[in-house]
Amino acid sequence: MNSFHVMLILLSFCQWGTVLAKNSTKLSVLFIMVDDLRATANKEVNLTHIARLARNSVTFTNAFAQQALCAPSRTSLLTGRRPDSLHLYDAHSYWREQVGNFVTLPQYFKSHGYKTFSVGKIFHPGISSNYTDDYPYSWSEQPYHPPTLKYKNAPVCPDRQLKKRKRNLVCPVHVDHQPGKTLPDLESLDYAVDILEDKALKKQPIFLAVGLQKPHIPLKFPKEFLKKVPFRKIIQPLQPNKPAGMPLVAWHPWVDVRRRDDIARLDIPMPMGIMPMEWTFRIKQSYFAAALYIDDIIGALLRRVDLKRFIVVITSDHGWSLGENGMWAKYSNSDFALKVPLIIHAPGYEPRLIDSPVELLDIFPTLVELAHLSHRKVPRCASLENVTDLCFDGKSLVRMMKGDTKPSAQYAISQYPRPSKIPQINSDEPKLKDIKIMGYSIRTKRFRYTEWIGFNSMTFKKMWHKNFGTELYDYALDPYETENVHLKPEYKSLKYKLQKQLRSRVV
């Protein structure tokens, strides 16, 4: 071997050493996505482990999903683009084929030397992620789905009344009596812990996304958590019926809840029937117990994480209504359906509460900046044509995290589709071809203004002149959205100001 070859080998070792050194200084990411966790859950029941992380993190108290439905919300977050930019309002299309080959959050980290892992539900499964959870674009390895997930809607819920197992909504269980003697989120926990404790992976940066299934329905969770939510402490909704001022198009019939065996037996009239109060209490108790179960799993994850080396994000794909205004589940532009927890822990950032409105699609540019992956300013997406450059419909939240008191925008935009102004069987989840109306909503610190307008699902044209309902809520005076004040004279100038802001932002 001549001296030239020796020099090449030494140079290669030096370059590889430099790469390792650079990798060792990169912060890893633990991204935790909880399914259907409403923002107020930690106030309604003590989520100890989430609260402990929040005390040492930046917590956004006014964070909102772009659409209160799993596939559009998750795809929006993971691409940094709005449902309108993705043309995705249901769960039946794949953005790379239908709109553009947009880069995703984990894909971008992967391209910067991270090993990326998906555990549980991160992308919505099915066609909206190409039946692969967007593998291999987004992930270094095949995404993991817990084997017992196949029993998600199986008749495994003990039913004392019928003395048999049913497909119930309320489903506290003995874990040892379940198929496989476990539950999906427990399996995801074990898989994620193995990744976090893998010594080989400690030598390189990782992006670990963990998607927890509960408190998504059915409310199936270890029975012991029910004892932590005393029935006597459950509070009934302030407004358990549809408010008189709510436009009919804003209402949804929560069909998936009605179809569960225990709720179906109640024979609640479609589409406007109201949940009996006894069952309102039962469902709320089980929802909070399921949230406590997930909080325990998050605590087990965080115990394996060195917070000096990790950025940690905890959020949800959207919220969940618990009988407020007679509505359940998501499927609306209500604060209860759109507002989510958002906690970001990043080494070097002081704990802080931020009440300016932010959006889930802000997470992508925020993590890019926190991880120092891109030092140039990432532009807003000017059009759908440019699919190669990294661009976002959202904004980085890092300035706010540093204490900037003058954020660039102080509102959040959300939307929800409807097939008709009259609630019907597919009002909750209309397919694209059936969408005739789109409800666009702007949320400031104090107000939410919504217009339900005509929408052409073939051309994606918005018809502002076709109005099917208008809503305006003042959260300072009415935090439960019990009074639609858009016709009150004292709100007239505010209404037109918000209308102008909404229409200029939704183009």
Give the single-character DSSP code of 143: P
Q: Within 10 A of 480 (CB to CB), how many other CB atoms are there? A: 16
Residue 438, sorted as left (phi over 0), alpha (psi -120 to 50) or beta, turns out to be beta
Residue recorded with tokens 């935790």: 32
Using CA atoms, how far apart are residues 330 and 287, in angstroms rounded to an integer? 14
CB 49 within 8 A of CB 299: yes
Instruction: Report the alpha-carbon distance of residue 225 to residue 290 in Å, rounded.
Output: 7
Choose among 355, 364, 316: nearest CA to 50.
316
The helix/strand count (H/E) of the chain reads as 15, 18
CA pair distance 479, 446, nearest whole angstrom = 9
CB 122 within 8 A of CB 135: no
Active-site choice (14, 92, 112, 124):
124
Q: Among candidates 402, 381, 401, 382, which has minimal Cα distance to 391?
A: 381
Q: Would you say 467 and 451 are in contact if contact means Cβ atoms under 8 Å apart?
A: yes
Element (H, E) at 210: strand 206-212
Which of 166-202 are b and which e, b meaning 16 or more Cβ less than 10 Å from the residue's Cβ? Answer: bbbbbbbbeeeebeeebbbbbbbbebbbebbeeeebe
Which residues lie closer than 8 Å to 456 by C-beta, 6 or more apart? 463
Task: Please say if 171 is a catalytic residue.
Answer: no
**Alpha-carbon span 301 to 421, nearest angstrom:** 45
- Beta-strand relationship, 28-34 and 206-212: parallel
Which of the following is catalytic: 49, 70, 345, 486?
70
Tokens linked to 31? 């991204």
- CB atoms near residue 13 (< 10 Å): 10
Whether 124 sits among the annotated catalytic residues: the reply is yes
In whole angstroms, give the CA distance from residue 347 to residue 30: 13
Report the catalytic residues: 70, 124
